Structure 1
Amino acid sequence: MRIIGIDPGTGILGFGVIDAKQGGYRLVTAGVIKTPAHTPLDERLAEIFDGLTEIIAETKPEVMSIEKLFFARNVTTAISVAHARGVAMLTGHKAGLVISEYTPLQIKQTLTGYGKADKKQIQEMVRLNLGLSQVPKPDDCADALAAAITHAATTRLGVV
């Protein structure tokens, strides 16, 4: 199964594509879509749509695994990220992908077995699961790969 993981954001949206097979996981590609600060929101969202459309067309995933939002403090940031998340989900839907959503807690528990794991622990587990020599950079990219691995692990276990 080929999965694209998404770490939503308006300024930086992380993506990571993996192949999940019985023997484990393999990195296909990963990176970020960056949009310039102080650009009108509609233009930023269009860039996200165009970038994701291209990535999906090139990599042909079957599933999109996207992180659910959890913001306790900054409502303005949450709204901005929600816009990007909506565009990402729409892009996946239009491409015919199955969309699965996971909370940060679910991702942490799946990768580390501990719901309060820190970013460094998650990044190291992404590195280990994918057999990489280094942690994927930037953090948004590693977070997107964590979302993809979470979907692969939970479907393999029959949780979804």
Structure 2
Amino acid sequence: MARRILGIDPGSRITGFGVIDVIGQQRHYVASGCIRTPQGAPLTERVKVLVDGLFDVIATYRPTESAIEQVFVNVNPAATLMLGQARGACLSALVMRDLPVAEYTALQVKQSVVGHGKAPKEQVQYMVVTMLNLSGTPQADAADALAVALAHANHSGGAIGALARQGLRIKGGRLA
């Protein structure tokens, strides 16, 4: 049975999205792009743009599950807060459309797609292009979102992933 995964790379200015189909061990590119919020706009306007944009993506591509990158804490608290607010808007849009949501750190995504967690963005982009047999390189945020979707496909496959998709709680590779 085919699974359609929506990957999200949240950002306060640019939020990337990537949609892939997973059939057995094969991954197929469906779509990718970016939702851009108006620069300098108030937070409420940015949140609306993100939610409406994701509603459109969900309505257009009809994913069966979703994955989103977790926020990392950087040296600028204001930037971290803005990123967290954008991520919250994205999470809200996903759950309001009844999509199961998985969360992955940037380290987990890079390890899954590239093989090590310290990979530069260019290497992640290259692996996304290679794994999905793309004819060109997607914009960086869209490539990151596709990497999140690929990481979810890699982590959620097999028997344990099937149990988790049925709503059973998995912790440390075991039923919890």
Cα distance in 2 between the residues matched to 1:143 and 1:104: 9
Counterpart amino acid of 1:86?
G
Cα distance in 1 between the residues matched to 2:151 and 2:84: 21
Please tell me whether residue 153 in structure 1 is matched to residue 139 in structure 2: no
Partner of 1:141: 142
Cα distance in 1 between the residues matched to 2:53 and 2:157: 29
Counterpart amino acid of 1:95?
R
Q: Decide which of 14, 23, 28 is 1:26's aligned counterpart.
A: 28
Partner of 2:61: 59
Q: Map 1:2-151 onto structure 2 (within 5 A).
A: 2-137=4-139, 139-151=140-152
Structure 1 stretches lacking a partner, 5+ long: none
Displacement of 1:23 in angstroms is 4.2
Aligned length: 159
8 Å contact from structure 1 (residues 24, 129) kept in 2: no
Percent of aligned positions that are identical: 42
Cα distance in 2 between the residues matched to 1:20 and 1:44: 32
Q: Which has the larger radius of gyration?
A: 2
Cα distance in 1 between the residues matched to 2:124 and 2:38: 28
Cα distance in 2 between the residues matched to 1:118 and 1:152: 21
Structure 2 stretches lacking a partner, 5+ long: 165-176
Cα distance in 1 between the residues matched to 2:130 and 2:26: 11
Cα distance in 1 between the residues matched to 2:123 and 2:98: 33
Displacement of 1:27 in angstroms is 1.2
CA-atom RMSD, angstroms?
Answer: 1.2
Displacement of 1:72 in angstroms is 2.5
- Which is further off, 17-26 or 39-48? 17-26
Counterpart amino acid of 1:146?
A
8 Å contact from structure 1 (residues 67, 104) kept in 2: yes
Higher relative contact order (CA 8 A, sep 6+): 1
Cα distance in 2 between the residues matched to 1:114 and 1:79: 27
8 Å contact from structure 1 (residues 48, 87) kept in 2: yes
Displacement of 1:147 in angstroms is 0.2
Displacement of 1:22 in angstroms is 1.4
8 Å contact from structure 1 (residues 127, 133) kept in 2: yes
- CA displacement, residues 68-118 of structure 1 (integer Å, 9 cap, x when unaligned): 011231111111111110111111101110000000000010011111111
Partner of 2:167: none
1:96 is paired with a residue whose SS is coil
2:156 is paired with a residue whose SS is helix
